[in-house]
Structure 1
Amino acid sequence: MALIDKVPGELKLHIGGLFTLRRKEALKEANITHVLSVLRFTPDEKLFNSFRHMVVEVDDVEDENLLQHFPSTNNFIQDGLDGGGGVLVHCAMGKSRSATVVIAFLMAKYHISPSEALAQLRQARPMCEPNSGFMEQLSIYYQMQTPENVEENPVYQRWVYQREVELSRACGQAPEAEKIRFEDEHADSQKQADFELRCRKCRRTLAMSQFLVDHKPRTFQSDQTEIQTPPAGASLCAHYFVDPLSWMRPELEQGKLDGRLECPKCKTNVGKYAWQGMKCSCNEWVVPAISISKSRIDEVKSRTGVGADVAGIRRPPAALASPNRGPGTQNL
Structure 2
Amino acid sequence: MGLLDKIPGELNLFIGGLFTLRRKQALQDSGITHVVSVLRLPLDQEQFKDFAHKVVEVDDVDDENLLEHFPACNKFIQDGLDGGGGVLVHCAMGKSRSATVVCAYLMQRYGITPMDALSQIREARPFCEPNEGFMKQLDLYHSMATPENVEETPAYQRWLYEREVEMSRACGQAPAPENIRFEDEHDQGTSPADYELRCRKCRRTLATSLYVVALHKNTKDQQPSRPGSECSHYFLDPLSWMRPELEAGKMDGRLECPKCKTNVGKYAWQGMQCSCGDWVVPGISLAKGKIDEVKSRPAGSAALGIRMPPSSTGRKGGPGQQNL
Q: With the length of structure 2 as denominator, give the TM-score of the two structures.
A: 0.92
Within 5 A, what are the aligned runs for 1:101-120? 101-120=101-120
- The one-letter amino acid paired with 1:299 is E
Deviations 1:230-266 (A, max 9, x none): 66xx551100100000000011110011001011111
SS of equivalent residue, structure 1 residue 127: coil
Q: Which amino acid aligns with 1:174?
A: A
CA-atom RMSD, angstroms?
Answer: 2.2
| Residue 254 (structure 2) aligns with | 260
Name the counterpart of 2:289.
Answer: 295
Query: Within the alignment, does 1:248 sit opposite 2:242 as a pair?
Result: yes
Alignment partners' CA distance in 1, 2:87 and 2:78: 9
Is the contact made by 1:190 and 1:307 (CA closer than 8 Å) also made in structure 2?
no
What do residues 209-244 of structure 1 show as CA deviations (whole Å, max 9, x unaligned)? Answer: 010111133389xxxxxx98766xx55110010000
Contact 1:5 1:14 in 2 (8 A): yes
Determine the C-alpha separation between the residues in 1 that align with 2:137 and 2:301: 33
Deviation per CA, 1:19-67: give whole Å up to 9, x if none: 0001112111110000000001222122111111110000001110000
Deviation of 1:72 after TM superposition, in Å, equals 0.3
User: Partners in 1 of 2:64 and 2:49 — Cα distance?
Assistant: 29
Deviations 1:95-142 (A, max 9, x none): 000000000000000001101101111011001000000001001101
Q: Give, in whole Å, the separation in 2 of the partners of 1:120 and 1:213.
A: 37
Q: CA deviation at 1:305?
A: 3.0
Letter in 2 for 1:196: E
Q: For residues 224 and 32 of structure 2, what CA distance do their matches in structure 1 show?
A: 60
**Larger displacement relative to structure 2 (32-41 or 312-321):** 312-321
Report how many residues are paired. Answer: 315
CA drift of 1:285 comes to 1.2
Describe the shift of the 1:237–1:102 C-alpha distance in structure 2 as closer, same or farther (beyond 3 A): same
Say if 2:217 and 2:277, in contact at 8 Å, map to a contact too: yes
What secondary structure sits across from 2:237 in the alignment? coil
**C-alpha deviation, 1:283, in angstroms:** 1.6
Find the counterpart in structure 2 of residue 214 from structure 1: 214
| Structure 1 residue 287: Cα displacement | 1.1
Equivalent in the alignment of 1:325? none
Equivalent residue number for residue 176 of structure 2: 176
Match of 1:25 in 2: 25
- Where in structure 2 are there 5+ consecutive unaligned residues? 309-315
Instruction: Tell me which residue corresponds to 1:125.
Output: 125
For 2:271, the equivalent position in structure 1 comes to 277
- Kindly indicate whether residue 43 of structure 2 is the aligned counterpart of residue 49 of structure 1: no
**Matched-pair contact (CA < 8 Å) for 1:67–1:137:** yes
What is the rounded CA distance, in whole Å, between the counterparts of 2:292 and 2:68 in structure 1? 41
Q: How many angstroms apart in 2 are the aligned matches of 1:92 and 1:140?
A: 25
Q: What SS does the aligned partner of 1:120 have?
A: helix
Give the secondary-structure state (helix, strand or coil) at the position aligned to 1:255.
Answer: coil
SS of structure 2 residue aligned to 1:157 = helix
The residue that corresponds to 1:151 in the other structure is 151
Q: How far off is 1:309 after superposition? A: 6.1
Report the Cα distance in structure 1 between the residues aligned to 2:83 and 2:110, rounded to whole angstroms: 19
Amino acid at match of 1:78: Q
Distance 2:37 2:265 in 1: 50
Cα deviation, residue 310, structure 1 = 2.2
Q: CA deviation at 1:308?
A: 10
CA change 1:291–1:64 in 2 (3 A) is same
